[in-house]
Amino acid sequence: MRLLCIAFLMVLALPGVAEQHDAPEEKIIRIGVRVDTRPFAWQDPTTGDFRGFLADLCTAAVTRAGFPFRLVPVDATERLRFLKERDHAYDVLCDPTTISLGRLQSFARGPFPDRLRFSPIVFVANGVWVRNADAKITPLAAPPDDTDCVPKLTNPEPGPEGNTAARDYLTAGFVVGTTAEALLNRLLRENALPVTDRQSICPVAQASHVEGITAFCKGTLAFYFGDLDIVRETASDLVNRGIVESCGFDHAPTPISYEPYALIVTDRTDGFRPLFVAALYAVFADRISTSSTAEHFFDRYFEDLERSPFLDALFRINRLPPG
């Protein structure tokens, strides 16, 4: 990524293309990149470089489309604000955003209809819950402040020493503004989490995956909801950097949600959106390049994993024929 940016700056300095250097800000494509969703998109805490399957996919497509670009860090709060306000903060948001019927309908309505559009689906994942297996979870004696725990104790049975209020409260984390919150609430309604009759689950929103998974690894959170690849890779990084000692966990025996990821493309720059989508398909279709194809990016960031049959089918679908 650093070499790409250096090469771009060198091109701007060449005679004959100086007008690009003087181009107004709105002509430079702003690529918003999530900082905390490895292996999809993250910012290296040491070098500041942006990395990840989606980060590389975005920059490769913008480059193929022929636009200069600037990478902009995006955290979960900024992402949520962008989705709500639908402003022109970015031309494209490189983030594992689940394309859903609700979001499609939302983008088509409101004060700025059609300002945001989803790209073609670029990845398929699954939502899961993970349960801490390393740290000894100490249940809370009372629910956290401003937290609606489920189930509520309406007709308590006598607890230890006749204490009718005795109950264990376990916290479950999720990142604000993600589909994990709806997934957690659905499982609570269905009573589908592995807890005892005297345990309540208390949803607690987290500002980022790094913050949430750090709390999970340290035992502050009993459960965490999200993409299994994000949990696994973030936990491994936290251990490698010495932020947590260990982070063993088990997870739902089967996936509990289907999460098709797509990029979000705005109308900030005239003519950019259709060229970007065409270039995105080209990144999937390219079988010649050795360093800037979707398959290469997958192998780079998921080196120990094989593509699932569903993901392999998606890659084939996106591999449009030339001509």
Instruction: Specify the pairing of strand 69-74 against strand 223-227.
Output: unpaired
- Lowest mean pLDDT of 108-117, 127-136, 166-175, name the range: 127-136
Q: Over range 231-252, report the average pLDDT.
A: 94
Mean pLDDT computed over 261-282: 97
**pLDDT value at 84 more than 80:** yes
Predicted confidence (pLDDT) at residue 165 exceeds the cutoff of 80: no
Query: pLDDT tens, 175-185?
Result: 999 999 999 99
Residues 6+ apart with CB under 8 A from 118: 97, 99, 103, 104, 107, 262, 263, 264, 265
Confidence grade of residue 2 (pLDDT, cut at 50, 70, 90)? very low
pLDDT tens digits, 31-79 = 999 999 999 999 999 999 999 999 999 999 999 999 999 999 999 999 9
Q: What's the pLDDT score for residue 24? A: 52
CB 206 within 8 A of CB 180: no
Phi, psi (deg, nearest 5) at residue 52: 120, 160
Confidence of residue 291 (pLDDT cuts 50, 70, 90): confident
Q: How confident is the model at residue 160 (pLDDT cuts 50, 70, 90)?
A: low
Average pLDDT over every residue of 83-109: 94
Contacts with 132 (C-beta within 8 Å, 6 or more apart), sequence order: 216, 217, 219, 221, 222, 223, 248, 249
Identify the three-state secondary structure at position 42. Answer: strand
pLDDT confidence bin for 258, thresholds 50/70/90: very high
Distance, in Å, from the CA atom of 249 to the CA atom of 217, rounded to the nearest integer, reads 8
pLDDT at 23 > cutoff 80 = no
Burial of 244: CB neighbours in 10 Å, binned 0-12, 13-18, 19+: buried
Over 50: is that where the pLDDT of 189 sits?
Answer: yes
Mean pLDDT on 99-104: 94
Top pLDDT among 23 and 89 is at 89
310 touches 258 (CB < 8 A): no
Which CATH number applies to 127-257: 1.10.287.130, 3.40.190.10, 3.40.50.300, 3.30.70.580? 3.40.190.10
- Look at residue 16 and tell me whether its pLDDT is greater than 70: no
User: Is the Cα torsion angle 303, 307, 312, 318 positive or negative in sign?
Assistant: negative
CATH match for 2-125+259-318 among 3.40.190.10, 3.30.479.10, 3.30.428.10, 3.40.50.2000: 3.40.190.10
Segment 86-98 mean pLDDT: 96
The reply to whether 127-257 shares the fold of 2-125+259-318 is yes
Q: Lowest mean pLDDT: which of 36-40, 190-194, 286-290, 311-315?
A: 286-290
Residue 226 has pLDDT above 50, yes or no: yes
pLDDT computed for residue 10 by the predictor: 36
Q: 12, 21 in Cβ contact below 8 A?
A: yes
pTM, whole model, 2 decimals? 0.85
Q: Could you count the other beta carbons within 10 Å of the beta carbon of residue 251? A: 17
Which residues make beta-bridge pairs with 173? 204, 224
Instruction: Sketch the domain layout of the chain as residue ranges.
Output: 2-125+259-318, 127-257
